[in-house]
C-alpha cells in the first residue's frame, strides 16, 4: 500500500477476492413407500427418530429398509408416502425440494413401471441417482436384463434376509435401504468418488438366491450389481456399475456420483457471481474459485494425475465467450476433469524364477 502524505481521498484498485466453494452433501437418501397418502417425513436422522414420526400405515418393507439404511452408515433421509393407487411420480415429486442424492423405493418390485419412473426422475434432475432392485429371484439368470438403461440408475440382485422388527423371525426384503446406507457410509468415510462396493452389509443374514460363478459373471457383464456371500468375509456388495449401455464415461456409479457432486458444488459455490459485472476481474475470480475447489478434491485422491495440470483444467476468458455471450449476459466457464475409476479387475501377474533365491530383473 502506498504511503499517504497529505489529507485527501486516495483511490486504490482491489481485485475480487477468491470465494471458496464448499462440497455439497451426497449422503441424504429419499425413500418413496406405499404407506397410504401422507405428508413428507423428515429429515429423519436415526431409526429411533423414524419410529417416533412414522405413520401407522407402513408397508412391510419400509421400516426394515430404513433400519438397514442407518445400520449401514446412513445419517439422514426423507420419506415420501403414496397410496397404492398413486403413480410413483407423485411420490418422487414430493422429494424435489430436498437436497437428496440417492432415491429408492422399497416397494418398487410391486409397482408397475417403477424403475422407469425413478430413472426418468433422476435423468431429468441430474442431481441424484436411483437404486433399483430385481424381482425375487431372477429366473432364468441368462436372459435377465436391467429394466432401464441410464447412468443415473444402479440395479442390484438378489434380495436380502434380515431380522424382523421384533427379532423373533427373519424376513426377505429388497436391498435398497441397506445399499443406500452403504453409499452414505462410503461417502462419509472415503469420498463420493469411491465405489460403494466390497463393503459388508450389516444386519443381513442370508441372500434370496446364491449365484454360481458363471451366473455372477453373466449378470455383471449386463450391468447388474450383485450382492454376494464370501466365506469368512460375509455378505458384501459386489458391483459398482450403472445400467447405462451407451455412456461409457459414466458406466461406474462413483464416476456418475462424483460428477453430480462437482456440478452441484460448483453451481452452488458460484451463485454469488450472478449479476456481477461480466468482465476479466470476475472471470479470474470464478476461475480461481473453481481451481481451488478442484485442487482440494484432487489432493484427496478423486482425480487422476500427478500434477494439477494433469488432473483438471479451468478456462474462463475471452476464448470461452463470444460477443453474443457477453451481449446476452452469459459467463461461460469450461471445466475438464479426469476422475478416477474403480479397479474392477485386479490382475496380478506371477512368474517362476529359475534361480533360488530369485534375483530381481536386471541383475
Give a yes or no: residue 343 inside a domain: no
Residue-wise pLDDT for 105-137, tens only, equals 998 877 888 999 999 999 999 999 999 998 877
Non-local CB neighbours of 353 within 8 Å, separated by 6+ positions? 359
| pLDDT, tens digit, 9 for 90 and up, residues 207-222 | 999 888 888 888 988 8
Say yes or no to pLDDT of 15 above 60.
no
In a domain, 243, yes or no: yes
3-state helix, strand, coil in the chain (%, to 5): 30, 20, 50
Q: Same structural domain for residues 78 and 140?
A: yes
233 with 138, same domain? yes
Q: Are residues 37 and 107 in the same domain?
A: yes
- Asked whether the predicted pLDDT for residue 269 surpasses 90, the reply is yes
Domain residue limits at 196: 29-252
- Residue 261 belongs to some domain of the structure: no
Euclidean distance between CA atoms 307 and 295, whole angstroms: 10
- The whole-angstrom separation of Cα 250 and Cα 46 is 32
CB 62 within 8 A of CB 35: yes
Q: Are residues 231 and 202 in the same domain?
A: yes
In a shared domain, residues 143 and 232: yes
Note the pLDDT of residue 363: 59
For the stretch 9-27, what's the b/e string if a residue is b when 16 or more beta carbons lie within 10 angstroms of its beta carbon?
eeeeeeebeeeebebbbbb
Q: Which residues pair with 200 in a beta bridge?
A: 236
| pLDDT, mean of residues 299-323 | 94
Residue 359 pLDDT exceeds 90: no
277 with 158, same domain: the answer is no
What distance in Å separates the CA atoms of residue 171 and residue 168, rounded to the nearest whole number? Answer: 10
- Asked whether the predicted pLDDT for residue 357 surpasses 70, the reply is no
Question: Looking at the predicted structure, is the pLDDT value of residue 353 above 80?
Answer: no
Among 252, 283, 304, residue at a domain's last position = 252
* 23, three cell numbers: 462440497
Residue 239 lies in a domain: yes
Task: Report residue 146's pLDDT band, with 50, 70 and 90 as the boundaries.
Answer: very high
Average pLDDT over residues 299-306: 94
Pair 138, 181 in one domain:
yes
Listing DSSP states for 54-105 in one string gives --S---SHHHHHHHHHHHTT---EEEEEE-TTS-HHHHHHTTTTS--SEEE-
What pLDDT score does 248 carry? 87
Residue 359 belongs to some domain of the structure: no
Residue 274 grid cell: 450472478
**Who has greater pLDDT, 55 or 51?**
51
Which residues face 81 on adjacent strands?
A: 33, 38
Q: How many CB atoms lie within 10 A of CB 206?
A: 14
Give yes or no: residues 210 and 333 share one domain: no
When pLDDT is cut at 50, 70 and 90, the band that residue 85 belongs to is confident
Q: What is the pLDDT of residues 171-191, one digit of tens each?
A: 999 999 999 999 999 999 999
Assess if residue 18 is contained within a domain. no
Q: Are 160 and 69 part of one and the same domain?
A: yes
The pLDDT value given to residue 335? 94
Per-residue model confidence (pLDDT) at position 69:
97
Residue 102 has pLDDT above 90, yes or no: yes
Task: Assess whether the previous peptide bond of 27 is cis (omega < 30° from 0).
Answer: no
Could you tell me if 136 and 189 lie in one domain? yes
**Mean of the pLDDT values across residues 330-350?**
84
pLDDT value of residue 14: 56
Whether 304 and 158 map to the same domain: the answer is no
Mean pLDDT of 318-330: 93
Predicted confidence (pLDDT) at residue 99 exceeds the cutoff of 90: yes
Whole-model pTM: value is: 0.89
Interatomic CA distance for residues 88 and 93, integer angstroms: 9
Say if 179 falls within a structural domain.
yes
Same domain, 80 and 172: yes
Query: Does residue 131 lie in a domain region?
Result: yes
pLDDT exceeds cutoff 90 at 91: yes
Residue 344 has pLDDT above 80, yes or no: no
Cell of 195: 465405489
**Which sign, positive or negative, has the C-alpha torsion 165, 167, 171, 175?**
positive
Confidence of residue 327 (pLDDT cuts 50, 70, 90): very high
pLDDT of residue 1 exceeding 60, the answer is no
Q: How many domains does the chain have?
A: 2
Phi-psi region of 361 (alpha: psi -120 to 50; beta: other; left: phi over 0): beta
Q: What is the CATH number of the domain that holds 175?
A: 3.40.50.11780
Contact 114, 156 (CB under 8 A): no
Amino acid at each position: 500500500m502506498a504511503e499517504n502524505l497529505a489529507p485527501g481521498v486516495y483511490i486504490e484498485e482491489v481485485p475480487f477476492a477468491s470465494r471458496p466453494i464448499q462440497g455439497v452433501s451426497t449422503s441424504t437418501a429419499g425413500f418413496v413407500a406405499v404407506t397410504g397418502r401422507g405428508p413428507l417425513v423428515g429429515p429423519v436422522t436415526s431409526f429411533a427418530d423414524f419410529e417416533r414420526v412414522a405413520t401407522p400405515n407402513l408397508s412391510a418393507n419400509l421400516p426394515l429398509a430404513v433400519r438397514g439404511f442407518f445400520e449401514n452408515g446412513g445419517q439422514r433421509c426423507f420419506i415420501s408416502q403414496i397410496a397404492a393407487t398413486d403413480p410413483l411420480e407423485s411420490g418422487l415429486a414430493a422429494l424435489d425440494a430436498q437436497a437428496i442424492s440417492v432415491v429408492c423405493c422399497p416397494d418398487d418390485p410391486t409397482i408397475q413401471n417403477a424403475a422407469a419412473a425413478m430413472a426418468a426422475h433422476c435423468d431429468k434432475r441430474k442431481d441424484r441417482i436411483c437404486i433399483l432392485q430385481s424381482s425375487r429371484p431372477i429366473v432364468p439368470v441368462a436372459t435377465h436384463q436391467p429394466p432401464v438403461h441410464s447412468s443415473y440408475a444402479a440395479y442390484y440382485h438378489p434380495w436380502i434376509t434380515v431380522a424382523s422388527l421384533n427379532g423373533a423371525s427373519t424376513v426377505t426384503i429388497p436391498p435398497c435401504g441397506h445399499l443406500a446406507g452403504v453409499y452414505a457410509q462410503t461417502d462419509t468415510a472415503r469420498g463420493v468418488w469411491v465405489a460403494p462396493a466390497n463393503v459388508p452389509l450389516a444386519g443381513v443374514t442370508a441372500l434370496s438366491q446364491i449365484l454360481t460363478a458363471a451366473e455372477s459373471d453373466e449378470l455383471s457383464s449386463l450391468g447388474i450389481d450383485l450382492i454376494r456371500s464370501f466365506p469368512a468375509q460375509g455378505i458384501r456388495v459386489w458391483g459398482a456399475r450403472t445400467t447405462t449401455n451407451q455412456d461409457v464415461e459414466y458406466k461406474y456409479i462413483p464416476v456418475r456420483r462424483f460428477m453430480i457432486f462437482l456440478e452441484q458444488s460448483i453451481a452452488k459455490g458460484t451463485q454469488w457471481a450472478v449479476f456481477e459485472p461480466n468482465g476479466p476481474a470476475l472471470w479470474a475470480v470464478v476461475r480461481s474459485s473453481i481451481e481451488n475447489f478442484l485442487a482440494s478434491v484432487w489432493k484427496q485422491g478423486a482425480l487422476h494425475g500427478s500434477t494439477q495440470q494433469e488432473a483438471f483444467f479451468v478456462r474462463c476468458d475471452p476464448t470461452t465467450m463470444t460477443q453474443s455471450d457477453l451481449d446476452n449476459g452469459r459467463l461461460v466457464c469450461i471445466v475438464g476433469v479426469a476422475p478416477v475409476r474403480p479397479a474392477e479387475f485386479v490382475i496380478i501377474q506371477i512368474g517362476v524364477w529359475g534361480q533360488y533365491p530369485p534375483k530381481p530383473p536386471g541383475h
